[in-house]
Amino acid sequence: MKNVILTGDRPTGRLHVGHYVGSLKRRVELQNSGEFDDIYIMIADAQALTDNADNPEKIRQNIIEVALDYLSVGLDPEKTALFVQSQVTELCELSFYYMNLVTVSRLQRNPTVKAEIQMRDFQASIPVGFFTYPISQAADITAFKATAVPVGEDQLPMLEQTREIVRKFNDIYGETLIEPQVLLPGNQACLRLPGTDGKAKMSKSLGNCIYLADTEEEVQKKVMGMFTDPNHLRVEDPGKVEGNPVFTYLDAFCRDEQFAEFCPDYSCLAEMKEHYAKGGLGDVKVKKFLNNVLQSELAPIRGKRKQFEKDIPAVYDILKQGTKKAQETAAQTLHEVREAMKMNYFEDEALIQQHAKKYNNQ
């Protein structure tokens, strides 16, 4: 069996540092590990439309932004097919068949969809497309026979749904689809990076993001304005580390050897945390350190982006080539799916002969 990766992002905005630690960084490591036969990374424009139907322009404008972010973090089109979901129409057809394998109540139980419905204030007016997007994600994953899906924690229920669909499909129609494994970030802080406002998740839809393409000044401004422990009013007050997003970001990004360079008063993060918790360490100092840590991670990404921005038609061409490869793979899987579901009427000579016999014998 081949080792295959499929994952992706919604082009609802540029990518942020939550995407980076939750999924992007891992993808690049996996890409460069040489352990995978095929890697597909999808810009999920059709999924993005499920809650942006009235604003296709937003999606259209952000496809190139996401593509630039991909290339700037080190996804390499020589090794990875970068493609656009809507252009692989086979995915719609697969979703349509999978819909028969999932109940409404099963979809209603999906905790991520529940939280997202609440966040978007849909109440009773949930678009059917949005409600069923876990099924379309199952189509995306299985179309490529993905064995590994590197994602953030919020995607766990989608992966579970996909695995259920695969089992049910194979059970009814015979072994055809592959059950994928989820690859979550190893670092606890990266499972779901909080927003700069302290909200549980950094998310494009919440406007609490540090974007990979932010300028040095923008990053600094956002870091210095970050939510911290609201009860840590004076430097000498004891501060809370737990649930304090500044420390969560440090957990996600900083390496102990960076203290020597940026904050030599401490030798490691544990020491800094201890001082903060005891009292006597001000937020400004911690934020300045975080800013340095983030800038050193983001500067090379920013630099690479500038290079790719110089030739935008070439970036569109990369997407076009990646989409061609993705389309071919998805078409092959769809062919197998139709065959398993006995929908290959015109190719099935035995069926035609069977019916011919039935009527000729009458």
Angle, CA of 22, 25 and 30, to the nearest 5°: 110
Contact with ligand ATP (CB under 6 A): which of 23, 85, 132, 228? 23
- If the CB atoms of residues 84 and 281 are measured against ligand ATP, the closer one turns out to be 84
Contact with ligand ATP (CB under 6 A): which of 145, 163, 192, 222? 192
Contact with ligand ATP (CB under 6 A): which of 4, 5, 6, 12? 12
Q: Tokens representing 9?
A: 């992002």
- If the CB atoms of residues 90 and 154 are measured against ligand ATP, the closer one turns out to be 154
Contact with ligand ATP (CB under 6 A): which of 38, 90, 154, 283? 154
Taking the mean position of all CA atoms in its chain, how far away is CA 313?
25
- Total residues interacting with ligand ATP, rule: CB under 6 A: 18
Q: Measured from the CB of residue 240, what is the shortest distance to ligand ATP in angstroms? A: 21
Contact with ligand ATP (CB under 6 A): which of 202, 219, 250, 254? 202
- If the CB atoms of residues 22 and 239 are measured against ligand ATP, the closer one turns out to be 22
b (16+ CB within 10 A) / e for 142-153: bbbbbbbbbbbb
- If the CB atoms of residues 136 and 169 are measured against ligand ATP, the closer one turns out to be 136
Query: Of residues 31-90, which lie at the interface with ligand ATP (CB under 6 A)?
Result: none
Residues 6 or more apart whose CB falls under 8 angstroms from that of 242 comprise none
Is residue 10 involved in binding ligand ATP (CB under 6 A)?
yes
Is residue 258 involved in binding ligand ATP (CB under 6 A)?
no
**Residue 190 burial (CB < 10 Å; 0-12/13-18/19+)?**
buried
b (16+ CB within 10 A) / e for 247-269: bbbbbbbbeeebbeebbeebeeb
Q: Measured from the CB of residue 48, what is the shortest distance to ligand ATP in angstroms? A: 7
* Choices 168-176, 201-209, 261-269, 324-332 (CB under 6 A): range interacting with ligand ATP: 201-209
Rounded distance, CA 159 to CA 178, Å? Answer: 12
State which residue has the least CB distance to ligand ATP. 22
Is residue 14 involved in binding ligand ATP (CB under 6 A)?
no
Contact with ligand ATP (CB under 6 A): which of 4, 18, 165, 228? 18
Q: Measured from the CB of residue 181, what is the shortest distance to ligand ATP in angstroms? A: 14
Rounded distance, CA 189 to CA 255, Å? Answer: 13
Is residue 155 involved in binding ligand ATP (CB under 6 A)?
yes
- If the CB atoms of residues 8 and 239 are measured against ligand ATP, the closer one turns out to be 8
- Backbone φ and ψ for 214, nearest 5 degrees, come out as -60, 150
* Choices 27-35, 75-83, 87-95, 196-204 (CB under 6 A): range interacting with ligand ATP: 196-204
Contact with ligand ATP (CB under 6 A): which of 136, 142, 203, 291? 203
Cβ atoms of 82 and 322 within 8 Å: the answer is yes
Taking the mean position of all CA atoms in its chain, how far away is CA 338?
29
Closest CA to 9 of 48, 36, 38, 39: 48
Cβ atoms of 356 and 169 within 8 Å: the answer is no
- Backbone φ and ψ for 291, nearest 5 degrees, come out as -60, -45
Is residue 205 involved in binding ligand ATP (CB under 6 A)?
yes
Beta strands in 44-80 (DSSP E): none
Is residue 152 involved in binding ligand ATP (CB under 6 A)?
yes
Question: Which residues contact ligand ATP by CB under 6 A?
Answer: 9-10, 12, 18-19, 22-23, 151-152, 154-155, 192-193, 201-205
